[in-house]
Amino acid sequence: MRELALHLLDIAENSVAAKAKNITITVKEDIVHDRLFMSVEDDGTGMDAEMVAKITDPFVTSRKTRKVGLGIPLLKEAAEACNGYLKIESTLGKGTLLCVEFQRSHIDRMPLGDLACTLYGLVVAYPDIHFKFDYKVDKEEFNFDDAPIKTELKDVPLTDPLVLSFLRELLESGVANISPAPAKVLG
């Protein structure tokens, strides 16, 4: 994967596969301390300690359609190559929290990518799941929660063209209003 937003998409889809009803995606850019933090938290089926210990192995996956799972191992490797880490906490029957951190200005850190498009795709593709998205750059913050929107819409589907347009504009403007300039790579 070439963008971190695509890793977030992959992890959120793992949460969907784990029967999560609530998924929270967090992205924090700390420019002063040169850190980029991301997390995905869900209330899905969770994993036992043995599976959590194996999940960063590319030859371990819970999927039945293929025998390898490269998303999390590649993300872990990318974080560690950029002076960061990947951490997973999970409890069977309660859910999973995956956290990853990078040195923001590291020359090898892949770009953040299109956060708004990623979240938009998740919200529209999985209307029965409650999504929250928190994006923070230093002291600026954009928070998105689809529950009030779904409540207001009542029987109007998220796929209604006016709703799609509203969601896209809300997410794109929310992210754009606090997005920083690209990180300067230190020589």
Residue 71 falls inside a structural domain: yes
pTM, entire model: 0.90
pLDDT score for 57: 72
Residue 185 falls inside a structural domain: no
Residue 187 falls inside a structural domain: no
Q: Express each pLDDT in 44-56 by its tens digit.
A: 999 999 988 888 7
Q: Residues of 133-161 as b/e, b for ≥16 C-beta within 10 angstroms?
A: bebbbeeeebebebeeebeeeeeeebeee
pLDDT score for 183: 53
pLDDT score for 71: 84
- Among residues 144, 26, 11, 37, which one has the least CA distance to residue 90? 11
pLDDT score for 187: 46
Residue 98 falls inside a structural domain: yes
Enclosing domain of residue 85: 4-176
Please count the structural domains in the chain.
Answer: 1
Residue 186 falls inside a structural domain: no
pLDDT score for 185: 53
Quote the tokens at residue 32. Answer: 């002063």
Residue 184 falls inside a structural domain: no
Quote the tokens at residue 169. Answer: 């504009």
* Residues of the chain below pLDDT 50: 63, 65-68, 187
Residue 149 falls inside a structural domain: yes
C-alpha 10/C-alpha 7 separation (Å) is: 5
pLDDT score for 61: 54
Residue 41 falls inside a structural domain: yes
CATH at 102:
3.30.565
C-alpha 97/C-alpha 88 separation (Å) is: 6
